[in-house]
Amino acid sequence: MEADRAQLLNQARRYLEDLRLFEGGEFIAPVLQQEEQGGDPAPALPSARDQAGELEAFRLQICECTRCPLGQTRQRFVFGDGDPGAGILFVGEGPGEEEDRQGLPFVGAAGQLLTKIIEAMKMQRSQVYICNAVKCRPPGNRTPAPEELAACAPYLERQIEIIQPRIICALGRTAAQALLQINSPLGALRGRLHQYRGIPVVVTYHPAALLRHAEWKRQTWEDVKWLRREYDGMEL
């Protein structure tokens, strides 16, 4: 009985936290306040402020990285951007020219398309988190080399640990392979719900590929609709 009550309180806390994160308001539940005044309080969930602080501390720790040759050719280290407590995490391949210039992920033409995709999901870009498998631009926007992906892998892993997303969307083959540690082609990865350390992963096309192949947009739309359904069906 007591365990059930604690579970309900934790679910209520998660729900209220989501309201605060996604609606921007402050919500107070009297029942939770009463519970905290007597007896052992239920475990507190990490707040968006705590996660933001952890992410910023981690960014400062690694932003001068030179673990691979990309650290010698970049203009800016592109860490990530968005809601530090986001339920949905988008992972791309690596920064492009505009991202390298601004120090932010997905701000070029492909980023503008990604923003439209997120808005078509009835969400705002500020409600998700976006990062890349590698944090520095490969020269000429080439595909990151295996050793470059390996050098950045601990950084992506730590970001995911801090954000604790409910679901991840891998944008393109490189991002999917970096997350899932498999060498399957994109066609074999799409349409299946994968797992990254217990977190569901949906794989779809990279927005840059859609700029070159408009015929793939319909398939991508089906992927992101599925992603949204999976996310909406998860327990708060």
C-alpha span between 136 and 14 (Å, rounded): 35
User: In the sheet that 199-204 helps form, which strands lie side by side, from edge to edge?
Assistant: 81-82, 129-132, 88-92, 167-171, 199-204, 194-196
The 10s digit of each residue's pLDDT in 12-71 is 444 444 434 333 333 223 333 333 344 444 444 555 558 999 999 999 999 999 999 999
Span 77-117, pLDDT tens digits: 999 999 999 999 999 999 999 999 999 999 999 999 999 99
Distance CA 4, CA 162 (A): 27
Per-residue model confidence (pLDDT) at position 5: 47
Supply the pLDDT for residue 35. 35
- Residue 219 burial (CB count, 10 A): 15
User: In this predicted model, what pLDDT tens digit does every residue of 165-209 receive, in sequence order?
Assistant: 999 999 999 999 999 999 999 999 999 999 999 999 999 999 999
Burial of 76 (0-12, 13-18, 19+ CB in 10 A): middle
CA distances from 58 to 54, 61, 63, 163, 207 (A): 6, 5, 8, 12, 27
In this structure, the chain runs to a length of 236
Instruction: With a cut of 50, say whether residue 118 has pLDDT above it.
Output: yes
Could you read off the pLDDT of 212-227 as tens digits, one per residue? Answer: 999 999 999 999 999 9
pTM above 0.75, yes or no: yes
Rg of the chain in Å (alpha carbons): 19
3 state DSSP class of 47 = coil
Sorting pLDDT into bands at 50, 70 and 90, what band is 236?
low
pLDDT at residue 148, rounded to an integer: 98
Instruction: State the average pLDDT over residues 147-158.
Output: 98
Domain ranges of the chain: 2-37, 48-232
Helix residue spans in the chain (DSSP H): 2-23, 30-37, 48-62, 70-73, 97-102, 109-120, 146-163, 173-180, 186-189, 207-212, 217-232
Question: Position 46: which residue type?
Answer: P
Q: Sorting pLDDT into bands at 50, 70 and 90, what band is 235?
A: low
Helix H or strand E segment including 170: strand 167-171
How far apart are the C-alpha atoms of 161 and 168, rounded to whole Å? 12
Second CATH level (architecture) for the domain 48-232: 3-Layer(aba) Sandwich (3.40)
